[in-house]
Every structure is written in structure tokens, then in C-alpha cells.
């Protein structure tokens, strides 16, 4: 399988950038007589269609027991939620998933998973408030379900990447095939991941953090 690069270079770059930013902040704080013990935290949102693997992703990457707000689906969901493509799914996220990943002693990522159904989209604005980056998790069997998340993050100018969740026993599609099908701009990274794997999900989070850092330091002309 074609996963995001597995070496530690990406994590090191994120940690080093955080350390540099912390060092500058600590120098300023020291000059002002303030405490220099700082922990940098960043919020990353995981979105995608119903049943794309968001809850699994957050649970796999989190170093703590994830906070989940799942409820059993009942007959009331018939005709409202599109459950036909995920017949084995009996619970759904009704608010959010939450997890945490520490990359260094002073760098913590907080991970928020969004609910996938249309009737819960009104929560998205609150969930992305303060986020530095987002991940759109894609199920290639239902690519059209990804458009809402992509459009949402594009309209709000939030840096994001697209992560193809490699489900078992399904036809696999490469990043460039998915990029073309979803009309993803060249500036947006498209990667593959296994939402069940702690290492794969960690690499995907680091890639999203790297992308956010690159966008933050990009010239204004490039952002326009």
C-alpha cells in the first residue's frame, strides 16, 4: 500500500518549527519577566462523509481514551441518513469525536472529528473554530460524500489535506486518481492512510500540521 512517508523527518520538522516559535516567545516572555514554561497546542479537524472512518481515525491516533458522542441509529434515521452504503454501521456520531496526540514535550495536537450526516452540519462552524488545519477523510466508494467537507474548508480558507482511507476488500485508488475525480487543486496534498492504524493516522496528522505551517509562512501573493 502507498502510505504517507514513514520516516521521522516530517515529525522533526513540525517539532523543530514549534520549538523555534516557542523559543522566540520564551525570549520575549523572559524579557518581560513572565514565565517561560509554554506548551504549544494545535487543533486539527477530521471531516468527511458518513461512515468514512472519522471515529476510527480519532480513536486510533489518540493517546487518551477518545471522547465519543455516538448514538445507536434507529428507524427514525431511515430516509434521513444515507445508510445504504454502510450496512454494517449501527451507531453514528451526533456531536464530535475528540482525541489528543503529544508529538513532543511541548507540542500537543488536539483532534476533533466532525459528524458526517447532513442534519448535523450546523455544528461544523463551532467545531472548526480555532483549528489550524483539517483532514478530509475519503471513502473512494462514495467520493461524492467528500465534496461538502472540501467546499466547507475552501470557503473558510482553512488549510486541509485529503486522506484516502484504505478500506479492506475494496478497489484501491491512488492519490492522483482521487485528485482528478474530486478536482483537488495542486496546492492541496492528497495522501493515503489506514484509519485503523495509529502510525498511519499519526503520519497523516503530521502531514496536515506541516501543510498548515507551510500555508502560514507562504507569501501573501500565494495565499491570494
Q: Cβ distance 118 to 145 under 8 Å?
A: no
Instruction: Name the average pLDDT for the chain.
Output: 78
How far is 52 from 35, CA to CA, in rounded Å?
Answer: 43
Q: So what's the pLDDT on residue 23?
A: 46
- What digits encode the pLDDT tens for the residues 59-115? 999 999 988 765 554 444 445 555 555 555 445 554 589 999 999 888 999 999 988
Query: Alpha carbon of 208 to those of 25, 111, 163, 169, 211: distances in Å?
Result: 23, 11, 10, 27, 5
Q: So what's the pLDDT on residue 2?
A: 37
Q: So what's the pLDDT on residue 119?
A: 57
DSSP codes joined into one string, 73-102: --GGGTTTS--TT-TT--EEEEEEEEEEEE
Residue ranges per domain, the chain?
A: 41-218
| pLDDT value at 5 more than 50 | no
Q: So what's the pLDDT on residue 217?
A: 76
CATH classification (class only), 41-218: alpha beta
Amino acid at each position: 500500500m502507498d502510505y504517507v512517508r514513514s520516516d521521522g523527518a516530517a515529525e522533526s520538522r513540525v517539532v523543530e518549527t514549534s520549538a523555534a516559535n516557542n523559543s522566540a516567545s520564551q525570549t520575549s516572555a523572559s524579557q518581560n519577566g513572565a514565565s517561560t514554561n509554554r506548551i504549544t497546542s494545535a487543533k486539527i479537524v477530521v471531516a468527511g462523509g458518513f461512515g468514512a472512518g472519522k471515529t476510527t481515525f480519532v480513536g486510533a491516533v489518540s493517546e487518551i481514551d477518545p471522547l465519543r458522542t455516538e448514538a445507536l441509529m434507529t428507524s427514525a434515521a431511515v430516509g434521513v441518513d444515507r445508510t445504504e452504503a454502510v450496512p454494517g454501521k449501527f451507531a453514528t456520531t451526533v456531536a464530535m469525536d475528540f482525541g489528543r496526540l503529544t508529538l513532543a514535550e511541548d507540542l500537543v495536537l488536539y483532534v476533533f472529528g466532525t459528524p458526517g450526516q447532513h442534519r448535523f452540519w450546523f455544528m461544523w462552524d463551532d467545531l472548526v473554530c480555532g483549528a489550524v488545519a483539517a483532514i478530509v477523510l475519503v471513502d473512494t466508494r462514495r467520493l461524492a460524500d467528500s465534496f461538502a467537507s472540501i467546499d466547507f474548508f475552501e470557503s473558510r480558507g482553512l488549510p486541509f489535506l485529503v486522506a484516502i482511507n484504505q478500506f479492506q476488500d475494496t478497489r484501491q485508488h491512488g492519490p492522483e486518481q482521487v485528485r482528478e475525480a474530486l478536482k483537488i487543486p495542486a496546492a492541496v496534498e492528497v495522501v493515503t492512510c489506514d484509519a485503523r492504524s495509529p502510525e498511519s493516522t499519526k503520519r497523516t496528522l503530521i502531514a496536515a500540521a506541516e501543510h498548515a505551517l507551510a500555508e502560514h509562512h507562504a507569501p501573501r501573493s500565494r495565499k491570494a
